[in-house]
Amino acid sequence: MLSWTEIMIIAVLLILLFGRGKISDLMGDVAQGIKSFKKGLADEDEAASSKKADTTATIEHQPSEKVNVAEPAAQSERKAS
């Protein structure tokens, strides 16, 4: 397990190697990445909910052939006579 003194030494070495500006830029880039990831998830959720709403819309049906309703009754009268 690392002690506080070891963590402080590592932090000082990181600051000396990369400088304060580089570390803050790096953390800013990480924060922007997290924000864009969350935005992407929110956009995906909105798209899924709007797609779900679109699927509940009315379905238009166009029959392939027209059926004459009076025709079956006429055929049954012919069979009966």
Domain ranges of the chain: 20-53
- Please give the Cα distance from 32 to 34 (Å, whole number): 5
Distances (CA, A) of 77 to 30, 57, 66: 82, 42, 22
pLDDT digits (tens, 9 = 90+) for 2-45: 899 999 999 888 888 877 777 778 888 999 999 999 998 888 87
- Please give the Cα distance from 34 to 27 (Å, whole number): 11
Return phi, psi of residue 9, to 5°: -65, -45
- Please give the Cα distance from 27 to 14 (Å, whole number): 13
Structure tokens at 61: 């049906």
* Residue among 46, 39, 14 at smallest CA distance from 27: 14
- Predicted confidence at residue 73, as pLDDT, reads 55
pLDDT digits (tens, 9 = 90+) for 33-81: 999 999 988 888 777 776 665 555 566 767 676 656 665 555 555 555 5
